[in-house]
Amino acid sequence: MPSAVERPFGLLAELTYRCPLHCSYCSNPLDLAAYADELTTAEWRRVLTEARELGVLQLHLSGGEPLLRRDVAEIVQCAGELGLYTNLITSGLGLTPHRAEELLAAGLDHVQISLQADEAALSDRIAGVRSFEHKLAAARLVKQLGWPLTLNVVLHRHNVDRLAGILDLAEQLEADRIELAHTQYYGWALHNRGGLLPSRAQLERAQEVVRAAHARLQGRVDVVYVLPDYFSRYPKPCMGGWGRRQLTVVPDGGVLPCPTAHTLPLPRASVREHSLAWIWERSPLFQRFRGTDWMPEPCRSCDRREVDFGGCRCQAFQLTGDAARTDPVCHLSPDHGLVAEAVAAADEGARSGEVVLTPRRHPAAGRSR
């Protein structure tokens, strides 16, 4: 492998985009039917073998809802035999005692369950389906079987004021870790941005709650809070930098530097056509925004260019139409006004109480393995 290209340590395997939930902040592709031809079990085995040879150490099984694949336990077992640490990212729906025992026997290392809120009515409304009690039962089952439990909560205008209750619930469920991540505005989430983006006042209250929780839960629950991009002075590096440490394989075998790079007008790469090593090292897709040579001003001369790497390429494209622009989140970007206008609109929407959300609907598609 060329010395200039780092080895990836993490693989996000999006096994299927089928999902029982209808979240209005879903960041998966808009055209889900285009991903119906899912990789077979044998193809996933080959992908995992190539990933391990490439240097990958962690495997995150996601979707959609990965438990809709009947072969998840087989995939977990294969990963374990290769020496990969396995993490199941699930809504909790479908994690029955029988299914959990199968995954435990297969060697699954960790479970991450999504929560929408701390009480049933709001949680079910956000998820678009009755699911809250199923999620609690799944979380308790995870702890009963001895797995580490991470809870993941996507924050937005409708649940950010419930942070104190959410953290109390995490403590009651004996979660080892809770990730409080504000909505990333891609896909369906971008469509609903006007109804999801919190106000500055909500964000300030949330930060106070998180600070108190860090002190109260220290040593018991690891609380991870990610400030929303739109309220940051500088952008976050895309997955630690484009094509630097992580890669994503989507249901039909496409390979991406980040989960939302399918939105960019770039050449595609697929495990059905090339090896993971070739894609990681040589494909035009992974080469396009690696390093700093591609950067325009003000990134090119900025002393943060190897800290945030110009920010998110997908965000730059969706907001400006040009994936090579400086991420408009950055206060130095010539397009920062686009983000400032969205934040101002969120503040105004919070005052007026006007909220319109469209739930995500999923086509009945995808071969079940």
Would you state the pLDDT for residue 227? 86
97 and 66 Cβ atoms separated by less than 8 Å: no
- In the chain, the domains with their CATH numbers are 10-231 (3.20.20.70)
313 and 261 Cβ atoms separated by less than 8 Å: yes
First to last CA, the chain: 34
CA 151 vs CA 92, 107, 143, 286, 359: distances in Å: 10, 20, 12, 31, 22
Q: Lowest-confidence range among 79-88, 92-101, 179-188, 343-352?
A: 343-352
Would you state the pLDDT for residue 297? 95
> Mean of the pLDDT values across residues 316-328?
96
Q: The pTM is what?
A: 0.93
DSSP β-ladder status, 255-256 and 246-249: antiparallel
CA 302 vs CA 56, 174, 270, 366: distances in Å: 31, 44, 34, 45
**pLDDT over threshold 60, residue 71:** yes
Q: Which residue has the tokens 């193809």?
A: 43
69 and 15 Cβ atoms separated by less than 8 Å: yes
Q: What are phi and psi of 93, to 5 degrees?
A: -75, 125
**Shortest CA distance to 292 belongs to which of 302, 284, 280, 282?**
302
Digit-coded pLDDT (tens) for 100-156: 999 999 999 999 999 999 999 999 999 999 999 999 999 999 999 999 999 999 999
Digit-coded pLDDT (tens) for 250-289: 999 999 999 999 999 999 999 999 999 999 999 999 999 9
**pLDDT over threshold 80, residue 362:** no
Instruction: For the chain, give the longest Cα–Cα distance.
Output: 57
Rounded distance, CA 261 to CA 259, Å?
Answer: 6
Rounded distance, CA 129 to CA 212, Å?
Answer: 32
CA 37 vs CA 15, 32, 64, 146, 263: distances in Å: 11, 11, 14, 35, 19
- HSE (CB half, 13 Å, CA atoms) of 352? 11
**pLDDT over threshold 80, residue 40:** yes
19 is in an annotated binding site: yes
Would you state the pLDDT for residue 29? 87
CA 319 vs CA 67, 276, 296, 327, 333: distances in Å: 34, 30, 16, 9, 12
23 and 359 Cβ atoms separated by less than 8 Å: yes
Using 50, 70 and 90 to split pLDDT, how confident is the model at 359? Answer: confident
Digit-coded pLDDT (tens) for 50-68: 999 999 999 999 999 999 9
Most trustworthy range by pLDDT among 86-100, 180-194, 233-247 = 86-100
